[in-house]
Amino acid sequence: MRKTIKIGFILLVLGLIMAMFGIANNGIQAVYWDSGFHVAHYQTKTYPLKQVKQITLATANNVTIRQGNTASIKVTANRKLPTITTKDGHVTIKSPTYDSETIGFMFNNTGSFADTTLITVPKGTTIERIDDRNQQSGNIHLQNITIKNVQLLADDNSVSLSNVDIQQSASFTADSLHLSQVTAPSLQTNGGTVTIANSQFTKGTSKLSLDDENAQLTNNTFKALQVHTSDGNLTLSNNQITDSLTASTADGNIHVTAPKTTGITAITGDGNLNIFGTTNQHRYQYNQHATPQYHLTTDDGNITVTES
């Protein structure tokens, strides 16, 4: 008990010292440890750009790339501004991650303490490529832009796209992926939670491979779709499939909303099937000569198909 009280007293004193240190430096500021206590002084800087052809991200900053009037980069950082290089329209943004060295009032580079980077591209610009070379730890948001190729493969962040036109290839690996009003020939994803709504992938086969997360796809158009999760639920509502849909989960449920003209093959190893109101166990086939065909499989879970 005495040892616990002593540790608690030490932590209390340490907290009071950090509070006094922050107040003495223009109010209660974020305090971090880096070979001594320091107060995080926020810096903001804007960089004008002549053109934007390609963007490479390797930063802990949360990055937004959106359409605007003029090309520019606006950066806000609490410790050190990222390194920005430009060459022939290729913009590269790099910064280290400080989370492991941060204590005090600011525990992570998140929320109101997050460093941010805003990249603005003029209307009518088509960006040739956006990639992160698997080095981006901050979240990424793309909005109202046109891109030829996107390859964002860092697997421990959140990626979101809204009203984005991708002309050639779209590949993602993220902790969570959110797409809304996105067009691309096809889509390739790995890992994390996937939410896709009101988007179109009409020229190739889209492949979604999840680890142990859920996928929710609503009001989308696919030429062909393959979606698999090792341990999660799949919800596919009112999607238009031109060719075929293959959906499988090792441990989870599948719920589909589709027209009754769709062909359905449903298989469960341990669960129940309900296909347009008809219940069965293990295997059920409906409208086998129709186009498109849905192939739904779960090793341990239920499959439900309702009419859209």
Residue among 89, 88, 138, 80 at smallest CA distance from 114: 138
Per-residue pLDDT of the chain (308 residues), as tens digits, is 566 676 666 767 676 676 666 555 555 555 555 555 555 567 899 999 999 999 999 999 999 999 999 999 999 987 788 999 999 999 999 987 655 444 444 444 444 457 899 999 999 999 999 999 889 999 999 999 999 999 999 988 999 999 999 999 999 999 999 999 999 999 999 989 999 999 999 999 999 999 889 999 999 999 999 999 999 999 999 999 999 999 999 999 999 999 999 999 999 999 999 999 999 889 999 999 999 999 999 999 999 999 99
Instruction: Report the SS3 class of residue 259.
Output: coil
52 close to 127: Cβ distance less than 8 angstroms: yes
Single-letter amino acid code for the residue at 295: H
Nearest to 150 by CA among 69, 227, 57, 49: 57
Domain edges within the chain: 1-39, 41-168, 185-308
Nearest-angstrom CA–CA distance, 129 and 131: 6
In contact, 208 and 226? CB cutoff 8 Å: yes
pTM recorded for the entire structure? 0.85
DSSP 49: -
Hey, how many other C-beta atoms are within 10 angstroms of the C-beta on 280? 15
Rg over CA atoms, the chain:
24
Q: What is the predicted pLDDT for the residue at 78? A: 77
Beta strands 234-237 and 126-131: pairing type? unpaired
Q: Which amino acid is at 128?
A: E
Contact 199, 183 (CB under 8 A): yes
Number of neighbouring beta carbons within 10 Å of residue 1 = 5
- Reduce the DSSP state of residue 203 to 3 states and report it: strand
Angstrom distance (rounded) from CA 92 to CA 87: 9
Helices (H), the chain: 2-23
Q: Phi/psi at 7 (nearest 5 deg)?
A: -65, -40
